[in-house]
Amino acid sequence: MKVATIYDIAEDLNVSAQTVSRSFKKNSPTKPATKEKIINTARALNFEKNLFAKNLSIGKTISNNIGLILPEIDDPNMIDIISGIEKSVNEHGYSLIINQSFGIFKKERILLQSLFNERISGLILWSSSIIKAEKSLVKFHKKNIPLVGIN
């Protein structure tokens, strides 16, 4: 099933995409009758706001996600630690993206690149090879992305 966009709603109602976009804002200048039609059409099309697109439009280039890379989730103590990290992250309005490197440095580098591309807001790296990962971590530092290393 195709994901509905503001352009689909605009086309259905013969209004501009800008009008649709403005209608979702709290203090919208859109006429109440038009806003109601837009909201009803959005529901009918199962429209969901695209947070990534919204963030791009306002110049926000990072997500509300914190990345966690760890060797493996096989130790009961590790599960408790991850739960504590996630609880803390959630309390501050962030989500946690958990990745396992299985202790393979090459996979760790791939995960680091993937999380960097996701525009995460912070990174927790649980690794025995943090020194080897230093080159991969420089770009996080250059973008002022907070980093916590656990060895």
* CATH code for the domain of 108: 3.40.50.2300
Of residues 75 and 40, more confidently modeled:
40
Same domain for 80 and 116, yes or no, is: yes
Give the residue among 98, 100, 95 at the shortest CA–CA distance from 65.
95
Q: Report the run of H or E that residue 30 belongs to, with start and end.
A: none
Rounded CA separation 62/52 (Å):
9
What residue spans of 16-151 are helical by DSSP H?
17-23, 32-44, 51-57, 76-91, 105-117, 134-142
pLDDT, tens digit (0-9, with 9 covering 90-100), for 78-105: 888 899 999 999 999 899 999 999 888 8
Q: Sorting pLDDT into bands at 50, 70 and 90, what band is 118?
A: confident
Instruction: Write down the pTM of the prediction.
Output: 0.62
Same domain for 113 and 75, yes or no, is: yes
Same domain for 14 and 41, yes or no, is: yes
Give me the domain span that covers residue 43: 6-57
Rounded CA separation 32/45 (Å):
20
Distance of CA 16 to the CA centre of its chain: 28
- Asked, for residue 10, whether it belongs to a domain, the answer is yes
CATH code of 35's domain: 1.10.260.40
Amino acid at the residue 76: P
State the pLDDT at residue 53: 66
β 95-100/65-70 pair status: parallel
Contact 73, 98 (CB under 8 A): yes
What's the number of domains the chain is made of?
Answer: 2
State the pLDDT at residue 61: 56
Q: Sorting pLDDT into bands at 50, 70 and 90, what band is 57?
A: low
